């Protein structure tokens, strides 16, 4: 369906607008609708397709929340001095975002810091939620209250694995760190040790183990893969002195997962609770006893 709003229309009282479904629209019409015809818009949610590849300009002094899933966007320009929450589901080819009051960012597609740029945005925000393809976006911020990362390492390419390590070498400080991790065909512990090097001030850690590896399948990456090197198993630079609560789901009780639990228990000095979801365990009673024997904190399986 093609949507063509009247050029002369004015929706002066409209504060929330949602366009959702099989809707096509010209980029110029979309820009005019948001910037000129809705002067009091606070919440904008767009799930649509541009008729042709085109630029989209969103200049609004009233917007507080912006959710964009707009296919065929060539260049996106956002100038929104009151914007607090931004959700990008399909990235534009290029983007420039100016939003000095931004406190929540969700980026669910690839992020290229050379083509997608945040300007006039603070170094500290409340929430940052990203996928692995947007790992470099973490370098935009120094401190995040809640950091959510969805990481899929389901590839054998050593260069891609090295890029992942480089992009996540310095994550922002965070109070709460939530990781959705599909690490097959690589080793689990080196990936987690790498990510935990940024947990100096983290109080709560949530790890959701996803995929066949949660069932205990051994890694099958090449012998020269970085995840197999002893260098990436070192614990130098990891400080878990602030960690109070750790939660693990998708736990199967594999050797590597047990190794990770033991590391948390031994190195998180003020850890008060360790919660483990063992629905994938083949021998849950045996695994629970083993976990409790190695933990120096209150553990619950």
SS3 assignment, position 81:
coil
Q: Is 298 exposed, middle or buried (0-12, 13-18, 19+ CB in 10 A)?
A: exposed
CATH number of 123-301: 3.80.10
Q: Which residues contact 211 (CB under 8 A, 6 or more apart)?
A: 154, 182, 183, 184
Every domain of the chain and the residues it spans: 1-101, 123-301
pLDDT score at 101 = 96
Cβ atoms of 291 and 265 within 8 Å: the answer is no
Mean pLDDT for each consecutive 10-residue tract of the chain (301 residues)?
60 92 88 92 96 95 96 96 96 95 96 92 93 90 95 87 90 95 90 89 94 56 83 86 93 88 88 85 76 66 55
- Please give the sequence-ordered ranges of beta strands (E in DSSP) within 210-288, or none if there are none: 245-249, 273-276
pLDDT score at 155 = 85
Alpha carbons 119 and 96: distance in angstroms, whole number = 7
Residue 234 tokens read as 């070192």
Alpha carbons 63 and 84: distance in angstroms, whole number = 8
């Amino acid at each position: 369906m093609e949507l063509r709003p009247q050029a002369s229309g004015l929706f002066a009282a409209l504060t929330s607008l949602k366009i959702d479904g099989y809707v096509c629209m010209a980029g110029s019409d979309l820009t005019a609708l948001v910037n000129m015809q809705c002067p009091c818009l606070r919440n904008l949610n767009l799930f649509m397709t541009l008729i042709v590849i085109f630029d989209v300009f969103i200049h609004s002094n009233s917007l507080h929340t912006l959710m964009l899933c707009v296919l065929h966007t060539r260049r996106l320009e956002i100038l929104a001095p009151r914007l607090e929450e931004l959700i990008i589901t399909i990235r534009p080819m290029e983007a420039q975002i100016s939003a000095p009051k931004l406190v929540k960012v969700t980026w669910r597609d690839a992020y290229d810091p050379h083509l997608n740029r945040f300007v006039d945005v603070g170094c500290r925000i409340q929430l940052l939620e990203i996928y692995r393809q947007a790992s470099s976006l973490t370098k935009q911020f120094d401190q995040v209250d809640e950091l959510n990362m969805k990481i899929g390492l389901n590839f054998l390419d050593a260069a891609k694995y090295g890029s992942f390590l480089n992009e996540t070498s310095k994550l922002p400080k965070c109070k709460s760190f939530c990781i959705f991790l599909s690490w097959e065909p690589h080793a689990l512990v080196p990936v987690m040790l790498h990510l935990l090097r940024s947990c100096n001030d983290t109080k709560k850690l949530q790890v959701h183990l996803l995929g066949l590896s949660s069932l205990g399948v051994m890694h099958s990456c090449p012998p020269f893969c970085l995840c197999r090197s002893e260098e990436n198993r070192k614990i130098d630079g990891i400080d878990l002195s602030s960690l109070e609560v750790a939660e693990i789901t998708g736990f199967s009780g594999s050797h590597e997962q047990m190794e990770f639990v033991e590391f948390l228990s031994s190195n998180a000095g003020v850890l008060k609770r360790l919660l483990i979801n063992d629905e994938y365990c083949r021998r849950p009673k045996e695994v629970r006893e083993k976990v409790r024997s190695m933990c120096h904190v209150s553990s619950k399986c």
